[in-house]
Structure 1
Amino acid sequence: MKVVLSIAGSDSSGGAGIQADIKSGFYHKVFMTTAITAITVQNTLGVSNAVVLEPKFVVEQINAVIEDFKVDCIKIGMLSSKELILEVFNAIKDLDIPIILDPVAISRAGSKLLDDEAINSLKSMFKYALLITPNSLEAKLFFGVDSIEDIKNIKDIPTNIIFKNIVKNDETTTDVLLTKDGNIELFIGHKADISNTHGTGCSFSASIASLVARGFSLKDSIDLSKKYIYEAINHAPNFGRGNGPINHILDF
């Protein structure tokens, strides 16, 4: 069994963050270890409080796992400050382990989650990742991208980038992979019901990390993960009064 290390925050509602990563890893038959960056108070209606853990304590968690496990892939989610971003990447950037980075900076509702210093620090770390997975708002923030044409005009490509749902219509969703060497590939899927999408970004990146850990190619990992998220949304358990979680285990 392959091992993935998830570095992310804890979601008390179980739909996103570390909890989503563990469930996604379970579905894909990997052993998910963790380094928790923050503990949130949240449910399907939103986040009401959070405690951000000290960077030193987060790094201690990372080191404890790395020293004892053969980690096959690292997935990174929410890093809430410049100091935490720099400390985490200093601990892992020289390891010979692929990194899947979900550059959490803007929520799908448009709320900015990081200050400008942290955003700049996170951007400077992109080069250490095998893949980054920005949502459409983060694509605009980091790369000035709104369309496939914009993607084609990116000059300085730090690493492989999957631009999620960059092309929108009523029936399909299109993710665009821009490889480090400038190639572009489209991943087109059916549009799912959007009433239960809490944690889809976390789950998508965790799914990719799990498949990369198991030896799948990056393109196959993206393709299979996109299909996984579609099914997980469509078979959501309809929990909560807000934006509900997906069905990570797909036991339908």
Structure 2
Amino acid sequence: MKVVLTIAGSDSSGGAGIQADLKTFEAFGLFGTSALTVLTAQNTTGVTDIQEVSPSFVKEQINAVLKDFDVAAIKIGMLYSKEIIEVVKESIKDLKTPIVLDPVFISKASSPLLKEDAVEAMKELFEYARVLTPNRYEAEALFGYEYGNDSSLESITNAPTAVLVKNHVVDTPEGKVSLDQLFMGKKKVAIQTPYLETTNLHGTGCSYSSAITANIALGHSLEVSIKRAKEFINLAIESAPNIGNGPGPINHKAAGEKVK
């Protein structure tokens, strides 16, 4: 069985963060391990508190996993502070393991998820990743990206790694689609699924990046991994359990049974 590692925050409601990553890994038949960076008190209606894990303990968690397991791929999510970013960098900089970096710092609701002084520090991790998976707000902040504006693409096409920009909703003659754009240097690949009218989107970003990680660990190419992950998320949203009083979580188990 392949082993994968997620370095990310905890979601007490179980729909996002570490919990979503582990559910996603299991849905693809992988064994998930974890290193927690922050603890959050949250549910589907919002986050009420955040407690940062000490950087030294984050490092201990990562080292404990890497010393004992042959890790096939790593997903990095919410890092929160430049001190945590620094210990993560020290832990991964010499690894040959493929890394999916979800640069979590602006949520779909435009809420900040990273300390203000840590954004520049996070950019130092980009060179170690196989792919970055920002949403469109994060892509704009990091690269000046604007959908449909070719003159805004110079920075993103010169990024040190591939960049997948998520969360576009586009009207087509066949109806609305959920569109993501993968930039690999000057090459651009569009990946889409039918758009689903729903509020059950809690944890989709975390689950998407961990599904990409899972498929890379299974030996798929980056493009195939993203396409399979995109299908997985679409299926998970489609079968969401409709729980909670806010934007609900998705159904990882049901999607995993269908996507294999």
TM-score normalised according to structure 1 size: 0.96
Return the alpha-carbon distance in structure 2 between the equivalents of residues 150 and 7 of structure 1. 34
Query: Is the 1:144–1:150 Cα contact (8 Å) retained in structure 2?
Result: no
What code does the residue aligned with 2:199 have? S
**Aligned partner of residue 19 in structure 2, secondary structure:** helix
Matches within 5 A, 1:5-24: 5-24=5-24
Q: 1:48-106, CA deviations, whole angstroms, 9 ceiling, x for partnerless residues?
A: 11211001000100000000000000000100001111111111121110100000010
Counterpart of 1:85?
85
What code does the residue aligned with 2:114 have? L
Higher deviation after alignment, 107-116 or 27-36? 107-116
Return the alpha-carbon distance in structure 1 between the equivalents of residues 214 and 190 of structure 2. 21
> Is structure 2 residue 170 aligned with structure 1 residue 175?
no
Matches within 5 A, 1:37-56: 37-56=37-56
Identity %: 47
Query: Is the 1:10–1:39 Cα contact (8 Å) retained in structure 2?
Result: yes
Return the alpha-carbon distance in structure 1 between the equivalents of residues 64 and 199 of structure 2. 39
> Is structure 2 residue 242 aligned with structure 1 residue 247?
no
Return the alpha-carbon distance in structure 1 between the equivalents of residues 124 and 246 of structure 2. 35
Q: Residue 163 of structure 2 is aligned with which of 161, 165, 174?
A: 161
What code does the residue aligned with 1:54 have? S
Query: Is the 1:193–1:234 Cα contact (8 Å) retained in structure 2?
Result: no
Matches within 5 A, 1:4-153: 4-148=4-148, 149-150=150-151, 152-153=153-154
Counterpart of 1:196?
200
Query: Is the 1:21–1:203 Cα contact (8 Å) retained in structure 2?
Result: yes
Return the alpha-carbon distance in structure 2 between the equivalents of residues 206 and 147 of structure 1. 24
**Aligned partner of residue 80 in structure 1, secondary structure:** coil
Query: Is the 2:178–2:194 Cα contact (8 Å) retained in structure 1?
Result: yes
What code does the residue aligned with 2:43 have? N
**Aligned partner of residue 171 in structure 1, secondary structure:** strand
Kindly state the Cα deviation for residue 109 of structure 1 after the two structures are TM-superposed.
Answer: 0.5
Kindly state the Cα deviation for residue 215 of structure 1 after the two structures are TM-superposed.
Answer: 0.3
Return the alpha-carbon distance in structure 2 between the equivalents of residues 118 and 7 of structure 1. 16
Kindly state the Cα deviation for residue 150 of structure 1 after the two structures are TM-superposed.
Answer: 4.7
Q: Residue 222 of structure 1 is aligned with which of 226, 240, 245?
A: 226
Query: Is the 2:55–2:83 Cα contact (8 Å) retained in structure 1?
Result: yes
Kindly state the Cα deviation for residue 167 of structure 1 after the two structures are TM-superposed.
Answer: 5.4
**Structure 1 unmatched ranges of 5 or more:** none
Over 3 Å counting, the alpha-carbon distance change for 1:105 and 1:150 in structure 2 is: farther
What code does the residue aligned with 2:65 have? V
**Aligned partner of residue 25 in structure 1, secondary structure:** helix
**Structure 2 unmatched ranges of 5 or more:** none
**Aligned partner of residue 112 in structure 2, secondary structure:** coil
TM-score normalised according to structure 2 size: 0.93
What code does the residue aligned with 1:100 have? V
Aligned alpha-carbon RMSD (Å): 1.5
What code does the residue aligned with 2:228 have? L
What is the total number of aligned residue pairs between the two structures?
A: 251
Kindly state the Cα deviation for residue 168 of structure 1 after the two structures are TM-superposed.
Answer: 2.8
